[in-house]
Amino acid sequence: MHKTWRWSASGADFILPHEEIQKICLHAGMAGIEGMPSLFPSQEASMLEEVAASYRAAGLEFDSFHLPLGPENDISSFYETHREEAVAISQHWMECAAALGCRVVIQHPTTSRCNAEVEGLDRYITQMGKSLATLLPMAAGLNLTVAIENLPPGERGGRFSARPEHFERMIAEFAGPNLGFCLDTGHALMAGGPERAHDFLDVMAPHMAAFHLADNAGDRDSHLAPGHGSVDWGPVFRKGAQIEHSHTMCIETPPFAPGNHPSYSLDAWRQMILDTEALVDAALS
């Protein structure tokens, strides 16, 4: 097996002009960044296309885009008014992602932190189904994949998408060419612990569209750079090679280095990539 993907970083870690972001990517050896709404105060299609063209001219890309994740963005809300508003927001940003040339948009399945078993898994699935009935045909028209991300367990445990069997249910109900999954390694460790974290990987693998790489100690979503927490990286990178993931893997963390966010040195970003490459080499050797 060998590495088949490229690296990107989360746009959430860049409160910087696009020219500075491009400089960091090129120095670090990244293929680009994952788009975020905060990076685009203007959503005019012509402006987005101009930004995307500047990245392409530098040899960089927007491969993925993280749809909004605030409390108002619950596509599985039990309140129809809120769910419909969340779908409309996702639709707007899907159009923006398409203008940037993205391949995949990352969608949190809920903003609720309640236990899905207590509230009723069927209720979440039904509400998500209503939303996907709108979002997936739109994704097909925009040549996008909607990737559902696994979430941390929540304070009460059992949150929707925080158990591998929730994704098994999504596959059974919604599988199709424009639906995929995004594995968040830090969320998986928090939700499954060391024993079950990779169950998410196994269930998602046939439909894997994106990766969010983040480390932690298993107790909180601390977004440590890979290799600085308790995530077992070997299975992640072996699975990525096995399925021949040929797009970007997004390192969804800042560098593990001195500095005040977002003012890390160019070399700190480069070292994060080199350290992650070393984890890949160890996994695939």
Q: What is the pLDDT of residues 215-274, one digit of tens each?
A: 999 999 999 999 999 999 999 999 999 999 999 999 999 999 987 666 799 999 999 999
Q: What are the b/e assignments for 139-176, b being 16+ CB within 10 Å?
A: beebebbbbbbbbbbbeebbbbbbbbebbeebeeebee
Check residue 275 and give its pLDDT: 98
As a whole number of angstroms, the distance between CA 51 and CA 45 comes to: 10
Over residues 49-76, the pLDDT tens digits come to 999 999 999 999 999 999 999 999 999 9
Helices (H), 65-120: 80-99, 116-119
The region, left, alpha or beta by phi > 0 then psi within -120 to 50, assigned to residue 210 is beta
Check residue 263 and give its pLDDT: 77
Within a 10 A sphere around the Cβ of 262, how many other Cβ atoms? 14
Handedness of CA 122, 207, 106, 252 (dihedral sign): positive
Mean pLDDT of 4-19: 93
CA dihedral 123, 75, 161, 203 (to 10 degrees): 100
Q: Is residue 153 within 8 Å of residue 162, measured between CB atoms? A: yes
Residue positions counted in the chain: 285
Check residue 59 and give its pLDDT: 98
Check residue 261 and give its pLDDT: 66
Select, from the ranges 13-17, 98-102, 258-262, the one with the highest average predicted confidence (pLDDT). 98-102
As a whole number of angstroms, the distance between CA 194 and CA 187 comes to: 12
DSSP class of 180: E
CA 68: distance to chain centroid? 11
DSSP class of 106: E
Q: Is residue 48 within 8 Å of residue 100, measured between CB atoms? A: yes
As a whole number of angstroms, the distance between CA 174 and CA 140 comes to: 14
Q: What is the mean pLDDT of the chain?
A: 96
Check residue 15 and give its pLDDT: 83
Check residue 120 and give its pLDDT: 97
CA 241: distance to chain centroid? 18
Confidence of residue 284 (pLDDT cuts 50, 70, 90): very high
**What percentage of the chain exceeds 70 in pLDDT?**
99
Domains delineated in the chain: 6-284 (3.20.20.150)
Within a 10 A sphere around the Cβ of 86, how many other Cβ atoms? 27
Over residues 119-163, the pLDDT tens digits come to 999 999 999 999 999 999 999 999 999 999 999 998 888 999 999
